Structure 1
Amino acid sequence: MEGDSKEAAGRVEWATMNLESGGTEKADGAVGNASRKQPVSIFRLFMACMVSGGIQYGWALQLSLLSPYSQTLGIPHSFVSLTWICGPIAGFVVQPIVGYYSDRCTSKIGRRRPFILAGCIIICVSVLMIGFSSDIGRHLGDTKEHCSTFTGSRWSAAAVYIVGFWFLDFANNTVQGPGRAMMADLSAGQHGPNVGQAIFSLWMALGSVLGYLSGANAKWPVWLPWLKTAACCDACANLKGAFLTAVIIIIITMSVTLAFAGEEPLSKDDVVATSSDGACSAFGDLFKSLKNLPPAMFSVLAVTAVTWLSWFPFFQYDTDWMGREIYRGEPQGPKADIFDAGVREGAVGLIFTSIALGVTSFLIPKLCRKLTSRVVWSISNLMVFVLMTVMVVVGMLSMKGYKPALTATLTGPDPKFRGIALAVFALMGIPQAVLFSVPWAVASEVTSKEGGGQGLSIGVLNIAIVLPQLVISLTAGPIDGAFNKGNTPAFGIGAAFALICTILALFMLPKTRGVSSAAMMAGGH
């Protein structure tokens, strides 16, 4: 998230910085861009931002591999959504706190670098916990039966996995907010914040593509045979190998960032005096600000919330759908290899999604100027409705008459359904480009026209993103359990919300045409 949910959550820091100064840019100057002795070159900016690529590499692995992997540990499909609750919680809680204290950090190595360093260390530990959760669980008392024949639950491994998953989400938020803020610090003045955020997004795109490629790779246990153990078969070994590379990449990118950032220490005299409530005051101000929002912002908030209700099922179940409905595999048992192949194919599909997203992003400003932002937003939701409906229909047709318990032979996917599924993944990148830019652009333009604080409004807009994610995480599992239809119910719900939002966007959103590059960068792309 943010990208997925994390990306959306990362924008709270900007709002927090502006909250402390009443919605102006006072905080940026007073809290302080510590003065630098010499201008920052583009090359230095590019190298200082490298950590964002490392973080996105790990996030791409998390999006593509962890929902399927959790089921190999015996976590029921109907409970998988609950493991993702940490995303919206981390975005809502961690980002304001980290943003608050990173603005006021007087460490000798700078304001942002201590948080980047600490966050990356926690990410590496979390990734190792996830990758080796099966082995750790075996040592903690899980079954001694070989993973190729055991089909039950491994609760010790599942507990280690969930702890690692939650720490990973919290640590990602700890790094991304200060990372964006540091780029704004370094690029201020000579280059401007748009350049810094554009470089940040470029590294994120590179990290996403490399991460999905790593997740699609099936050769890790071939290259590193020691990855396979009695508790960790092929799918687990692939995940373990991909996550070990994530540790290496994060260490390298973090080291380069820390070396090239060159932050000047913030003097205690430069820290703006704040209330004794500390970070809690940021939350209080955020909620109090709701009454000061421009009237049109409430329409933007409503449409944004419904939009994310339609998208989160895709973010959560995309590769699982490919492994379960298209490849007709199972996370455990004799069809586990087929399921794992489908998951890897889903990671390939997400590469297509990322490419389509990047290409479409260049067209969005022109489309919004020609059609208005609300029409573009409405069309994108109509497209999500059509594509998710196709996913529901294709999944049902693929599984029609198929009885896993009665099918002795191992059959792969129908080539026709596989091709349609990959096309759907690629086309999903088009509305995803709108998701990551237009809501933030509309919010920015509404507040500028009606005299509101832009940073404040964008911070509030983040609430309209994390709350729907929380709702889907809590309800997707029970709905799945009630219907017992795999991913079909979640995608059906997503399609219904997308259709509702198609209408809401046309009638509730204000007429706006501009999508600035600043808004695009704030939107996480």
Structure 2
Amino acid sequence: MEKRKLGFWEIWNMSFGFLGIQFGFALQNANTSRIFDTLGAEVDKIGLYWLAAPLTGLIIQPIVGYFSDRTWTRLGRRRPYFLVGAILSSIALLFMPNSPSLWVAIGTLWIMDSSINISMEPFRAFVGDNLSEQQRTLGFSMQSFFIGLGAVVGSALPYIFTNWFDVANTAPEGIIPPSVKWSFYIGGIVFLLAVLWTVIRSKEYSPEELHAFEKGSENHSDVSLEKTCSESRQRTIGFVLTVIGSLLTYFVHDLNQTTKDSHKELYILSIGILTAGVLFMLVSLLRKKQINNGFTTIITDLLNMPKTMKQLAWVQFFSWFALFSMWIYTTNAVTGHVFGTTDAKSKIYNDAADWVSVMFTVYNGVAAAVAFLLPVLAKRTSNKFTHMLALVFGGFGLISIYFLSDKVGLLLAMIGVGIAWASILSIPYAMLSGALPAQKMGYYMGVFNFFVVIPQIVAGTILGFLVKTFFNNEPIYALIIGGVSMILAGFLTLTVTTSSKININE
């Protein structure tokens, strides 16, 4: 039994919800630092405040993936999660620009990012469920197109409201400008309507049909805990991580005790490693007692990843470390290094911050434009070469911001970033999808998000420390570090092992 080949508009409908999801992410990425700045955040702490976003993804996505693999309702398998996440996200988007204080804004970011992740994670597995391997590349490319398109409009909304509709982009101290508020209001509405379109206009295969497809698939396999990860190996890995996390926590404590500056954000990284080690050891004990449930499966299957997924993990790590450095520090780098102001109340600052929205619009627009061109290049070369080339373009684009002094130059730098962004959103998923066991598609797509989230946590914990300690609180150097990281990710792509059946041009 084989999956039916879907028409172009059917794939369009099942991907349309990403337009709304990216509206939410674009507004979050382009304006959260600005909101934090307006509410009084210190520049070296902005990365720490941003950690609410990746931490929620780290927890939410594999759990949503695990349960969506096992869900079947009248709405289907993945669509219930689309809908619930969209409703919660829209509410959070409406509230975010009205946050009365910095801590309320941080809490709202946590809720908003959790809700967006509930909607977003099943969309990746949705492609694996509904499309044959021959059509998955088109499915991921269609998602990339809507991500780019949604981000173009979402990122540009504050600029559009100010320059087209004469909505003020300044406000009294501690108040979010009206142009930003109206952008979030529109974003909340579009998010809900776009996801509703996919929920209403798409269908899903029943569990019986999916089982029949899996039986006839080359990927039909059962990732066995006993075969792929022994209890003793899991316990050993847990012990090593626990020791490393404990030593790092002691080092951070000693650093905070012996220096005048507080670097408490480093605790998040060290305690995170410690927690992972404890969880691995705990689950190894539960398995030894023959206790196997959702918790033990979720934790243990982290060690059961296919080889291709492990190799792509390093590529994703350095790619997303670079992206997070850009999202956190572009506003401060452009306003301070390029336009020479740090006064969040001044017109120069707010005009520059609006231009950052335009810069983000450009890189997302480029991503939408090249989304369907990447398979053409990959067909003539290879997946690995295409992704490597795109990431190198993106890395040089970030680094070039240091040398620029005008608005046009900043937009040109974003072209390279846009090419990298289009590739990051499609090629790794196309390379990965054929390597995953079909019955755990949702879970492993959620786990793959770890290598989106963990680098963001690392960036959020160490970039502020590095900028303050070594670069005199000049955020432009965070972008240079990000550019180097993205170039490194490009060359690591060449080490990934792939097979012909997961080639992006199939």
TM-score normalized by the length of structure 2: 0.71
Superposed CA deviations along residues 406-465 of structure 1, whole A, max 9, x for unmatched, are xxxxxxxxxx522211111123212333333444455568x59xx999958766654333
Which one of the candidate residues 335, 350, 359 is aligned to 1:349?
359
| Aligned counterparts, 1:88-127, within 5 A | 88-127=54-93
TM superposition shift of 1:468: 1.7
TM superposition shift of 1:513: 8.5
Which one of the candidate residues 97, 100, 108 is aligned to 1:164?
108
Which one of the candidate residues 439, 446, 467 is aligned to 2:454?
467
Which one of the candidate residues 320, 330, 335 is aligned to 1:318?
330
CA distance in 2, matches of 1:218, 1:329: 23
Task: Return closer, same or farther for 1:114/1:381 CA change in 2, 3 Å cut-off.
Answer: closer
Superposed CA deviations along residues 154-203 of structure 1, whole A, max 9, x for unmatched, are xxx111101110111110110112344456555679x9555554544443
Q: Which amino acid aligns with 2:110?
A: W
Q: Which amino acid aligns with 2:119?
A: V
Preserved contact between residue 374 and residue 510 of structure 1 (Cα < 8 Å):
no
* Match of residue 22 from structure 1: none
Segments of structure 2 that go 5 or more residues without pairing to the other structure are: 215-223, 225-289
CA distance in 1, matches of 2:86, 2:45: 28
* Match of residue 192 from structure 2: 251
Preserved contact between residue 381 and residue 501 of structure 1 (Cα < 8 Å):
yes
Task: Return closer, same or farther for 1:306/1:183 CA change in 2, 3 Å cut-off.
Answer: closer
Preserved contact between residue 6 and residue 131 of structure 2 (Cα < 8 Å):
yes
Task: Return closer, same or farther for 1:339/1:513 CA change in 2, 3 Å cut-off.
Answer: farther
Preserved contact between residue 309 and residue 497 of structure 1 (Cα < 8 Å):
yes
TM superposition shift of 1:470: 1.3
The number of aligned residues is: 429
CA distance in 2, matches of 1:308, 1:72: 26
* Match of residue 422 from structure 1: 411
Task: Return closer, same or farther for 1:492/1:260 CA change in 2, 3 Å cut-off.
Answer: closer
* Match of residue 280 from structure 1: 295
* Match of residue 236 from structure 1: 177
Question: Does residue 486 of the first structure (1) align with residue 452 of the second (2)?
Answer: no
CA distance in 2, matches of 1:90, 1:309: 17
Superposed CA deviations along residues 35-61 of structure 1, whole A, max 9, x for unmatched, are xxx998765654454332112112111
Q: Helix, strand or coil for the counterpart of 1:469?
A: helix
Question: Does residue 204 of the first structure (1) align with residue 147 of the second (2)?
Answer: yes
Q: Which amino acid aligns with 2:155?
A: Y
- After alignment, is 296-305 or 173-182 more displaced? 296-305
CA distance in 2, matches of 1:195, 1:363: 11
After superposition, the CA RMSD in angstroms is 4.3
Preserved contact between residue 124 and residue 445 of structure 2 (Cα < 8 Å):
no
Q: Which amino acid aligns with 2:118?
A: T
| Aligned counterparts, 1:26-425, within 5 A | 43=9, 46-47=12-13, 49-133=15-99, 137=100, 157-182=101-126, 185=129, 193=136, 196-219=139-162, 233=175, 236-261=177-202, 278-290=293-305, 293-294=306-307, 298-333=310-345, 335=346, 337-394=347-404, 417-425=406-414
Q: Helix, strand or coil for the counterpart of 2:304?
A: helix
Preserved contact between residue 121 and residue 445 of structure 2 (Cα < 8 Å):
no
Q: Which amino acid aligns with 2:112?
A: L
Q: Which amino acid aligns with 1:130?
A: M
Q: Which amino acid aligns with 2:415?
A: A
CA distance in 1, matches of 2:492, 2:126: 37
TM-score normalized by the length of structure 1: 0.68
- After alignment, is 50-59 or 460-469 more displaced? 460-469
TM superposition shift of 1:472: 0.5
Task: Give percent identity, aligned residues only.
Answer: 21
Q: Which amino acid aligns with 2:329?
A: Y
| Aligned counterparts, 1:11-26, within 5 A | none
Q: Which amino acid aligns with 1:490?
A: A
CA distance in 2, matches of 1:418, 1:347: 12
TM superposition shift of 1:242: 0.4
* Match of residue 145 from structure 1: none
Q: Which amino acid aligns with 1:116?
A: F
CA distance in 2, matches of 1:375, 1:198: 17
TM superposition shift of 1:502: 5.5
TM superposition shift of 1:298: 4.8
CA distance in 2, matches of 1:279, 1:373: 35
